[in-house]
Amino acid sequence: MTEKENDTKKITPETDKQQAENPSLLEEYMRAHQHPSKGKKGEQKEEQQAKNESSEKQPDKIDQSGKSTQQETNQLISNVSKEEVPDSTAEKSEKNQQPVFDEIEMVTNAEQTTEDKGSEETIRSNSNKLKSKSTKRTVTILLVLAVVAVVGIAYYQQWQTKNTLAQQKTERVAAEKILASYYSDEEQLFPKTAQTEKGFKKLTQAVAKTKEQENTHDKLVKQVKQLKTKTKQVAAVNQLFTQAVITDDQYKAGLLKADTPITVAKRSEKNAFDKMVNQALTEAENQYKQLQTAKAKVKAVYDGEKVTDAATRDAYNQAKTEVDKIKNQDLKTNIGTALVQVNEELTKKETAAKAKAEQEKQAVAEKEKQAAEAATATKAAATTSNDPTKTSIMTPNQTQIADTNNAAWSWNEGIMNKVIATCIQRGYIVSGGYTLQKNSIVNGEGYYDLYATNLDSQLLKSYKAEQLPVYLVTINCKTGWFQGRGPK
């Protein structure tokens, strides 16, 4: 064995050791020489596999926007993969590996020192290449992770946006539904009385949840304000009456509650609700106006808690007519109490006036009767002055006879009845067949002449009708004395 062969044997184990420590160098050499056809096609195949794996990992359900984003991501990954090992790098690697292989073959013919030096340089070169390749892979992974993160964030934001919009829609619909429940009609004109009486807390809370939806929130706030305004006005109108006149979309005429001016303002009539509110207010105003008219009429006959001097039956009747038009019985009673006193006072006055008038009428009638009797007596005396059946024992005084109110003509108690009874007993006259006529007054005492007016008495049986009346006696109305032309 030669010295050269011995050197070769020494070097061979160390070379094997170096190859064992750096297996990737040999593997790269073998790939470059034994599978030269792989090149770009192999890399493209790996890229296609990567794309397929990436596609399989995508969710089955993704919206159109998500698909677009994923396609952009796959394209970016593909570009990065292509940059990882370009063709120029592969060719360079083959070129760099060829001298290494030749150097290994020539080790057996080189000096030991030269061989060691070459091996160390080869190791360092290979090590640098491995570090460079590892760095590129790390960068690639980081880029892929960054892209995935961006895609994930974009997808999450999109999902979050959709979820937010759905939540906002739910809140909006809920608020609108609650608002609608406060109305009794689909057009949302008439507030629902039973609902509004519970308050607006639930509705206010629902509207507050739509605060992030600026336009929707503003619209709902405005609608709630309108609802509260209508509810307040309906309550104000109902307070004017003894019972509610507006309930939901129904109106029922009522009675004015109090003698208080109507201060609730009417609405501009734009819809059915406005018309109903105004109708109720008009009714309240009319009743209040009628109440004031009746009070004015009553005041004309009753003021200061007493009947006025100007109170008459006609004024009372006018006041009563206006009071009767008041619809609220309680308000009518308060005013009517004064009219009761007026009526009582007027009735007293009217009764007294009637009695006085009756007395005056009787007095006039009595005067007329006495005047007629006096005229008859005067006529009889004038025509039958020589006839004892017609002539009194006393000469009549016409002046005294005309003074009918003179107390001398008043009969003392029982005198007339006593004298008449005596004359009937004696047969001068019969009951109802006589008359008394004033004659004269002597010493303050009146004298009456008694005449028979029919022939039914015993004394006048022989007389004829044309002789009537027949003078019988003259009577003192104070003492009861009487005397005629016959025997005493």
pLDDT band at 388 (very low <50, low <70, confident <90, very high): low
Task: Assign residue 26 a region (left: φ > 0; alpha: ψ between -120 and 50; beta: otherwise).
Answer: alpha
Average pLDDT of span 246-270: 93
Most confident of 157-171, 232-246, 332-346: 232-246
Q: Which amino acid is at 56?
A: E
Considering only CA atoms, which of 109, 130, 117 is closest in space to residue 26?
Answer: 130
Average pLDDT of span 283-293: 95
Alpha carbon distance 406, 442 (integer Å): 12
| Angle of CA points 159, 165, 167, to nearest 5° | 100
Which of 142-146, 243-247, 253-257, 452-456 bottoms out in mean pLDDT, i.e. has the lowest?
Answer: 142-146
What lies within 8 Å, CB to CB, of 471 at 6+ separation is 388, 389, 390, 391, 392, 449, 450, 451, 484, 485
The pTM assigned to this predicted structure is 0.46
Which helix (H) or strand (E) segment holds residue 251: the answer is strand 250-251
**Sole residue written with tokens 């004109």:** 189
Q: Are 438 and 446 in contact (CB under 8 A)?
A: yes
Which of 55-59, 218-222, 265-269, 421-425 bottoms out in mean pLDDT, i.e. has the lowest?
Answer: 55-59
**Half-sphere exposure (Cβ direction) of 462: Cα atoms closer than 13 Å:** 2
Q: What is the pLDDT of residues 392-405, one digit of tens each?
A: 999 999 999 999 99
* Cα-based distances in Å from 230 to 191, 233, 248, 263, 438: 7, 5, 11, 16, 93
Of residues 43 and 364, the one with the higher pLDDT is: 364
3-state helix, strand, coil in the chain (%, to 5): 65, 10, 25
Considering only CA atoms, which of 175, 225, 241, 227 is closest in space to residue 202?
Answer: 175
Q: Are 100 and 29 in contact (CB under 8 A)?
A: yes
Three-state SS for 260? coil
Instruction: Spell out the domain ranges in the chain.
Output: 3-55+64-172, 239-383, 385-484
Which helix (H) or strand (E) segment holds residue 171: the answer is helix 112-181
What lies within 8 Å, CB to CB, of 59 at 6+ separation is 66
pLDDT at residue 281 tops 80: yes
